[in-house]
Chain A
Amino acid sequence: MSFEILNKAIGMLDADIIEAAEAAPERRTSVTAFAKPWMKWAVAAILIVVIGVGTPVALNMMGAFRNENFVAPGGSGNSGFIAPADGSSESGSGQSPEGESSSKADEPSLSSSQPGGSSAETPDLSSSGTPECDVPEQPEGDFVKENMPAVTYRINGEYKTFDYQSSTAVVDSGSSYVIDHYVGSDGSTVSANAGTGELVKYEKDFSPKYLDSSIFEAEAVETAKSIAVNTAIGLSGLDNANSSVECSDDKFFVVLSVAEGSVEICLDSEGGLVSFAVKRNP
């Protein structure tokens, strides 16, 4: 087939397809539609100022409004963010009052060493759209991070394994609640109680960037393996080599490791070979 024929045929694409493509990017380019590039930064700066100043003012006004008009019945303590008139319950922290039992029928029951004593500090899993979780699989023995590169939780009936991602973090200075973050192969993350492993929060990351890059990386590894195997470099077992991949904007750096050594392969975004290096173990 000649280029002319192919190009001509593409030129004769159905009109509705052409017009749809013309319309589609416009929906996404409101920011780039500014006449000058600096305009979007100016608008962004104005928005930041408006939101920064406006939000606290609006929240204060809402708080004043609520306190005046919608005080919960005294002593109930279950009115969400609104404190009862007698002040018997702290509002908005998401914590149960100290000493109160936190056991709920559907809350995962995780035993073993609980730092800070009461399990009443466990945040409510039902808040902010977090999916309900079934019984998490808790490893036996102490929950030690170093021995715990991955954890498995059963979430919405499905077992998900999460790799350890970062060290502990204090999420709430008020309660000094310490959690670990784990990330799943599908981009979802969980936060777990650093002491007990108890699931605190689960979020699925729908970021297309994350999902796509992981797909590309998998493809890059397969391409690199194929290149390495076909290059007859004298290392055996490259088909099943351990692999690691790093992705920059335009390139993938794949390292394939076998017992005899490793191969470092750099690919461009279309899987083309950029560089190739073999290291043999002494």
Chain B
Amino acid sequence: MNDETIVGLFWNRDESALAEAQEQYGAYLLYIARNLLRDEHDAEECLNDALLAAWDSIPPNRPENLKTYLGMLARDAAINVLRRRNAKKRKAESVGSLEELTELASACTVESALGERELARLISAYVRSLGEPERGVFVRRYWYYDSIESICDMYGFGKSKVKMMLKRTRDGLAAFLKEEGNYEF
């Protein structure tokens, strides 16, 4: 079943949309969730949350790319699961990719008036301007939450090279946002 048909099922409030979406993209969503949560049970919970979020948001949304849309919902769901998990513990769990994003975000000293969508557009423009493999490594790390080790395996690079590449890309993003989005870093 293609994306358009599945989105149609969501729009018609047909509950088979959930099963179809899970069959089509369940493994993909679990992959993203596992990268962040590293726990099968939590990843399953995240998958259900993502599908429920899709049910609640389609309609009114009509995603052109269902896979990426569901992936985005899985990321959000995984962050929420992680937050709930950390709330129960005294010390927050450390996840490398999130720490790096937190570091970048906290380096921003002056907030811009830009909204989320505009910020996303700027980040897309910046990532699009990168060459390969920087672009792919950035997306693998901060969209899929892949570990440094996984990225090294995928690209055949050493750890230091990947870390250095990511640091340069984050620095580049900060400079880009400063220039294009009036953020201050």
Contacts and interface: CB of A to CB of B under 8 A. Distances in A.
Interface residues of B, number: 50
B127 A17 contact: yes
Contacts of A5: 105, 116, 119
A236 to B, nearest CB: 31
B127 A13 contact: yes
A159 B172 CA distance: 34
B159 A249 contact: yes
Contacts of B59: none
A21 to B, nearest CB: 3
Interface in B91-141: 98, 101-102, 104-106, 108, 111-112, 116-117, 119-120, 123-124, 127-128, 132-133, 135-136, 138-140
B139 A6 contact: no
A232 interface: no
Interface residues on A, range: 35 or more
Interface stretch (B13-21, B39-47, B148-156): B148-156
Contact of B161 (A4, A19, A29, A212): A212
A36 interface: no
B85 interface: no
B179 interface: no
A266 B104 CA distance: 24
A18 B143 CA distance: 8
Contacts of A21: 135-136, 138-140, 143-144
Interface in A86-138: none
Interface string A256-282: 000000000000011100000000000
B121 to A, nearest CB: 8
A256 to B, nearest CB: 21
Contacts of A28: 154-156
Contacts of A14: 124, 128
A249 B154 contact: no
B176 interface: no
Given A18-B71, A25-B140, A249-B158, A10 B101 contact: yes
Contacts, number: 118
A32 B153 contact: yes
A35 to B, nearest CB: 14
| Residue among B119, B140, B167 having the largest count of chain A Cβ atoms under 10 Å | B119
A5 B181 CA distance: 14
B163 A269 contact: yes
Nearest to A248: B160
A269 B136 contact: no
A39 to B, nearest CB: 15
Main secondary structure of the interface of B (DSSP, over half): helix
A29 B120 contact: no
A15 to B, nearest CB: 4
A14 B67 CA distance: 12
A11 B108 contact: no
Contacts of A50: none
B142 interface: yes
A212 to B, nearest CB: 6
B154 to A, nearest CB: 3
Given A1-B105, A1-B111, A17-B124, A269 B159 contact: yes
17 contacts: A1-B105, A1-B111, A2-B105, A3-B101, A6-B119, A7-B79, A7-B98, A8-B116, A10-B142, A11-B75, A13-B120, A17-B124, A17-B127, A20-B135, A21-B140, A25-B151, A270-B163
Interface of A: 1-15, 17-22, 24-25, 28-29, 32, 209, 212, 216, 247, 249-250, 269-271
Given A8-B116, A249-B160, 19 more contacts: A1-B111, A2-B105, A9-B116, A12-B124, A13-B123, A13-B127, A13-B139, A14-B128, A18-B71, A19-B65, A20-B135, A21-B144, A24-B133, A24-B136, A216-B161, A249-B159, A269-B159, A269-B160, A270-B163
